[in-house]
Chain A
Amino acid sequence: MIEGPALWLFIAALGLGTFGLRFVFLGLIGDRPLPAWLLRHLRYTAVAVLPGLVAPLVVWPAATGGTLDTPRMAAALVTLSIGYFMRNVILAISAGALTLFAGLALLG
């Protein structure tokens, strides 16, 4: 593994690159008006990225070596349902965590 100045250079490059990705639109476009079609797409960014980020973690959990697991699937469904119907994040997290603990205790 690289070390010393090479490692520091690597960390700095990764930090700078990551900042660049975070800054590219917010920093460079600023308050210039964006076309309506683009704004419409941007309204769906969160709901198009986060579910795709989470889905593999639910279906192939690392903790089980990637096999579908009933307690984790149940916890995911309960969390999503409570979040959707109750619109309450804390309640959804609590219900999901309880489901996970109960499921792991029962099914182990």
Chain B
Amino acid sequence: MPSQSTNSPYWQGVRDGAPFTLVIVPFSMLFGVVGTEAGLHIAETMAFSVLVIAGAAQFTALQLLTDNAPTLIALVSALAVNLRMAMYSASLTPWLGAAPLWQRAIAAYFTVDQSYACAVVKFEQEPHWPMPARLAYFFGVVTPICPLWYGFTLVGALVGNAVPTGLPLDFALPITFLAMIGPMLRTPAHVVAALVSVTLALALAWLPYNLGLLVAGIAGMMVGAQAEVLLERRKEGRA
């Protein structure tokens, strides 16, 4: 049975998710440390990591709360940081939409940058995978990521100031994402979408609530889709 082998979709997912432990461990630990320093009980810090399970939004929320920002502002700001999750949700729908509702709900809970990015790349490479294989892959990617997110939040909250210094871990996140983006640039349409996204994200970085990224993302999608239409037309014209 191929599903028993180490090359099953599940194990492929585990392998593809594994490099992100480089990011997950230091960031979740840092969140634990910051939570304890902000005076949160361990259960409260853990509730953030288990219920929200989104690093950037957790840091944003905690930062605003410790600055005594109005609670509603803190909530809206942290949710705005997570608006990209709705775009991921839409993007996964053509691939996972036919799964039973409870499985879609679990997949939705585990939709983080890393699981989303790995999954769409793989699903496009393996368009004929049946639904169980897609879900197995998705949860495979999640396996080395999300348990560590909980676990090292706890370690950080318990141990306090134990994040190793001297290692340039700040750059683990950009490097792991850039490594994923490279193989995603398969056609000129993908390249222009990425270029538009980068340009607008930098030009609109001054917008509040991380809205620059949202505009950059939507514009990138529109340009990519338009470029695909133009390229197809040109190909048809030549044929």
Contact = CB atoms under 8 A, between A and B. Distances in A.
Interface of A: 1-3, 6-8, 10-19, 21-27, 29-32, 34, 37, 39-63, 72, 75-76, 79-90, 92-93, 96-97, 100-101, 104
Interface string B197-237: 11011100100000011001111111111001100000000
Contacts of B91: 42-43, 45-46
Q: Which secondary structure dominates chain A's binding surface?
A: helix
Nearest to A12: B51
Contact of A80 (B85, B88, B178): B178
A8 B225 CA distance: 42
Counting from the closest, the 6 A-B pairs by CB-CB distance are: A83-B182, A48-B220, A15-B51, A44-B224, A52-B201, A92-B179
B75 interface: yes
A45 B181 CA distance: 12
A58 B88 CA distance: 22
Contacts of B109: 19, 22-23
B2 interface: no
Contacts of B228: 40, 43-44
Given A55-B201, A76-B178, A23 B89 contact: yes
Interface string B103-138: 011011101010011001100100000000000000
Interface stretch (B5-13, B142-150, B186-194): B186-194
Contact of A15 (B52, B107, B121, B168): B52
A62 B117 CA distance: 24
A19 B86 CA distance: 9
A32 B97 contact: yes
A3 B183 CA distance: 45
Interface in B48-88: 48, 51-54, 57, 61, 65-66, 68, 71, 74-75, 78-79, 82-88
